[in-house]
Each structure stands twice: as C-alpha cells, then as structure tokens.
C-alpha cells in the first residue's frame, strides 16, 4: 500500500491510498478519513459506496461527510467504483465498464478478469484496512448513493452480522426491472436472470431483509426516478415488515447537493448503531 496524500481535516486525517488488488487484478485507490480519536485506538467504520461515473474522490470532496463523522468519532472509507487502468475492459457508455462496476463479480468476458467489486468490497479491502489502520472492524456500517446505494443494500443483506446499519441515498432499488441494471447485469453476469436476483435490493429485501435498522432517502424531484424504482423497495420493506425509515424528500434531485443535505442525518443514524 502506498500513501498518495494525507491532509488534516476536522481534527483528523483525510488520506488517499493505492494498493495492488488481487481481486481486481489492478491497482485500486481509496480514500479514508480517520477522526482524531483514531490516535488513541480503533474507531468504528462507515463505508460510503459511490455511484455511476464516480471515483473515490467524488464523495470524499462533495458529500460533506467528514465533519459529521469527526463529531461522532467514526472513520469513513471511500472506495473506487470499479477497476481501472491499462488492460482493464471498458465501454464507450458511461454506465458500463470503468466507473460502473455495480458491485458484482463479473463472470462474462471481457469483464471477468478485473470486475470483481463484490470480492473487493466484501473481503479484500476490509482486510487491508484492518491490517493498516486503527479501525474497530466489529463496528461497521454502510451507505451509498445511486449505484452505491444498490451496492450498500445488497452487501449489507448478503453479509448478516457484518454491518450494524445500512442506509442509501437514491439507490438503484430494482435493477432487474430497470435499464440501470438489466444492461449491466446481463453484461457482467450473463443472460440467466436467476443470477441477477442476489444483486437486486428489492428482491433481496423481500427474501432476507436486514438484521438491523435501514434508512433510505430519495429525492422526489430526482430526474432518474423511473430508473431507480424506489417504489419497488418501499413495497418490499413493507412486505418484509423491515425496521426501516423511507423518506421522499420534496424538491431534491439526484445530485450531491441532495446527498450533502441529508448527510448529517445518515452519519448520526449510523453512529447511533455503531456506538450501541
């Protein structure tokens, strides 16, 4: 692992690091904010998974999360959204390939050699973080925006006991029924739709649910509502009788203005679970 930068922020340190990833077979970059309390011992960790076209940097610089995390004494990790670099498959469209990993393990060419973001987020990066930083990996929570909200929800439900809470900002909630999903899942996983179900938050919510609290914020003026399909997730939460808060936020769109407006709520929500 190499340090690309470290900057003082809110009494703590915002770092950017790169490492050789076995899962993705390329170098991967991530951001990590450590609050001041990390100088004295391990602190809880909140994951933030970003959306389409993003790198580690978008949420790190736009979401306004570090100040709220510093107040709560928790760390924040900002992974990249896909493998990158020379020899890594890509597509001309913004919603497939580099910047659009969809947090799955691809099984189809040309994506299979590198696009293993599920293994990277679920296994490889947590192990690297635990080895190198003052983090209490028994206290983890996860959130994300759009494609990252999809990833946060599906990972949280598939890994019971890993995360104490999960939240999402405008998640891609029903990708098997949306053009933001069917295109990518067929490319990465093939045409057998039974393989897609594990990566559809609405389907997994009906089947398994989550063993903790859930918070969803969706902008009511989001320009991508027809692609996100929040009603499918809301219906699944109700059918499952899941412990959850689902909020439609009047006037808000899909941008980081929306995310940053409700970031304090989400960080506080997770801190309440992490410090229990």
Q: Which of 146, 165, 167, 202 is catalytic?
A: 146
Q: Which of 114, 199, 254, 266 is catalytic?
A: 254
- Tell me how far CA of residue 198 lies from CA of 39, 42, 123, in angstroms: 39, 32, 17
Phi and psi dihedrals of 147, rounded to 5? -55, -35
Q: Which residues of 76-88 are buried (b: 16+ CB within 10 A; e: fewer)?
A: bbbbbbbbbeeeb
210 near 129, Cβ under 8 Å? Answer: no
Instruction: Based on the residue annotation, tell me whether 95 is a catalytic residue of this protein.
Output: no
Q: What number of residues does the chain have? A: 276
Instruction: Based on the residue annotation, tell me whether 82 is a catalytic residue of this protein.
Output: no
- Tell me how far CA of residue 241 lies from CA of 134, 197, 205, 216, in angstroms: 36, 20, 10, 15
User: Residues with Cβ < 8 Å from 131, sequence gap 6 or more?
Assistant: none
Instruction: Based on the residue annotation, tell me whether 109 is a catalytic residue of this protein.
Output: no
Q: Which of 56, 222, 266, 270 is catalytic?
A: 222
Angstrom distance (rounded) from CA 116 to CA 23: 6
- Tell me how far CA of residue 174 lies from CA of 77, 196, 198, 199, 234, in angstroms: 25, 11, 11, 9, 11
Angstrom distance (rounded) from CA 202 to CA 54: 24
Q: What residues act catalytically? A: 146, 222, 254
């Amino acid at each position: 692992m190499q340090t690309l930068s470290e900057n003082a922020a809110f009494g703590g340190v915002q770092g950017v690091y790169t490492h050789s990833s076995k899962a993705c077979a390329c170098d991967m970059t991530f951001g990590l904010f450590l609050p001041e309390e990390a100088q004295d011992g391990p602190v809880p960790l909140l994951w933030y998974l970003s959306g389409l076209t993003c790198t580690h940097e978008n949420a790190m610089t736009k979401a306004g999360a570090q100040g709220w995390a510093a107040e709560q004494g928790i760390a924040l990790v900002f992974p990249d959204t896909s493998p990158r670099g020379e020899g890594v498959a890509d597509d001309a469209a913004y919603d497939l390939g580099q910047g659009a990993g969809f947090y799955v393990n691809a099984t189809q060419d040309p994506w299979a050699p590198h696009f293993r973001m599920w293994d990277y987020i679920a296994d490889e990066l947590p192990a690297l973080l635990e080895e190198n930083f003052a983090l209490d990996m028994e206290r983890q929570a996860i959130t994300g925006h759009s494609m990252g909200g999809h990833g946060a929800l599906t990972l949280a439900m598939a890994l019971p006991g890993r995360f104490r809470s999960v939240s999402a900002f405008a998640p891609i909630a029903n990708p098997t029924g949306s053009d933001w999903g069917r295109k990518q899942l067929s490319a990465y996983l093939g045409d057998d739709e039974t393989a897609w179900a594990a990566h559809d938050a609405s389907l997994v919510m009906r089947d398994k649910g989550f063993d903790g609290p859930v918070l969803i914020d969706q902008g009511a003026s989001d320009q991508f509502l027809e692609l996100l399909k929040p009603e499918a997730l809301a219906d699944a939460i109700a059918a499952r009788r899941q412990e959850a808060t689902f909020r439609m936020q009047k006037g808000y769109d899909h941008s980081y203005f929306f995310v940053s407006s409700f970031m304090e709520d989400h960080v506080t929500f997770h801190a309440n679970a992490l410090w229990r």
